[in-house]
A and B are shown apart, each in its own frame.
Chain A
Amino acid sequence: MERADLLPLPATWDGRYVKDDSRLKLVLEHYDREQLPLRRYVGFLGVDVETAREIVQESFLRLHEHLLEGGDQTHLRGWLYRVAHNLTRNAQLAFRTKKTDRLEDATPTGDLAAADASIEDNLLARERIERFRRAMRELSQAQRECLVLRAQGLKYREIAEALHLSVSTVGENVQRGLERLKELL
């Protein structure tokens, strides 16, 4: 059976090369939405700003790789935080980063420190942060991490995915953490 008898040559067809960049776009969509909360979480875990920047970027590169390899797309947010969490812990172990609570160094330069805030307001903000900082140190590590991820907008299921915990354990940590903070703040 001769080829020419069956099908026209492809050169005669109207063809074009396929460029599938849907996964790349998906990663960038997640980046636009999650990079700041993710950076805040990584910063909270206690690495410096530059390391946090590298970890966040590496997390999104790994997300892309995960998608290219046909990985599960149903819980990408939790997956992303888990990767960032593990990378942060690995970096702390590898480089012997001083594992301090990032809030120790936090200054009210974020939402609490609006550029036009008065000095008095600024002092009040500092005082509030200082109180919050002390209170957070009273919690267990799991309670702190659950509360921080919750504050970044993650649902319990996503927090569970990120921290390798069960959903019920996350709920318990959030509840106990809030109860303790309620007493301390």
Chain B
Amino acid sequence: MTKQKHLTNELLVRSMDGELIEPEEACVQEHLAHCDECRKKYGEFQHTSIAVHSGLAAIPVASSLGERKNLQQKLEARQAIWQTKQTPERVMRRFGWGMAIAASLALAVVMMPKHKKESNAKQIVQAATTLANAIEAGGETFIPLPYSNPDLPVNASRIVEMQVPVSALSEAGIIVEPVSSRATVSDRSVLADVLMGTDGQPLGVHILE
């Protein structure tokens, strides 16, 4: 593409549509600034484009607020049905156990270095062991609590977002603060999603902050 050669229709159209990458666009604009013939062709393409827009604008379309409300009601109803069907078994079927294991390992890798220096080895082993048995539900990975009953049916479980005391998590083997500073943060809590079992007791926890 030089000043001597004219621009191709392809370049003119793609430039008009903003489909060129920056160096190409700069070359096209530079050429257009000096070439009356290409500028004329570019103008003709623009004129044709406007004709297409105008012609299509003549197609009668109409919508009402009632339609939007109707759609919203249907969406809400479908979402409610979907949420009741979203059991851990379905999640497992969809994403597979491989995903759960990968998520567990990733969580273990993320969390372990954080406590490596200040928590004791026993707690690290306990946390890693816990993560290896992570529960997948509602698209989240839950760290199972030590007293989780593995025989409980989880198809009717639900997820509750709540403030959980840091000290309670520590006692369950889930460290969110360095052990050495636990005394100073005993009154703190963290926002977490808690997977509730059918017995009303928490099965697992997913820390959100």
Contact = CB atoms under 8 A, between A and B. Distances in A.
A87 interface: no
A136 B168 contact: no
B202 interface: yes
Contacts of A7: 145, 147, 168-169, 171-172, 202
A1 B72 CA distance: 49
A33 interface: no
Q: Contact size class for A? A: 35 or more
A61 B56 contact: no
Ranked 5 nearest A-B pairs via Cβ:
A15-B162, A132-B55, A111-B57, A3-B147, A110-B57
Contact of A103 (B13, B48, B55, B78): B55
A91 interface: no
Contacts of B63: 35-36, 39, 53
A27 interface: yes
A161 to B, nearest CB: 15
Nearest to B78: A64
B165 interface: yes
A15 B71 contact: no
Contacts of B48: 178, 181-182, 185
Contacts of A2: 147
Contact of B71 (A31, A65, A107, A132): A31
Interface string A100-131: 00110011111111000000000001001100
B22 interface: no
A15 B145 contact: no
Interface in B137-174: 139, 145-147, 158-165, 168-169, 171-172
Given A3-B201, A7-B147, A40-B56, 18 more contacts: A5-B171, A8-B168, A13-B163, A13-B165, A28-B75, A36-B61, A36-B63, A53-B63, A53-B67, A61-B74, A64-B78, A103-B59, A109-B58, A110-B60, A113-B58, A129-B55, A133-B55, A178-B13
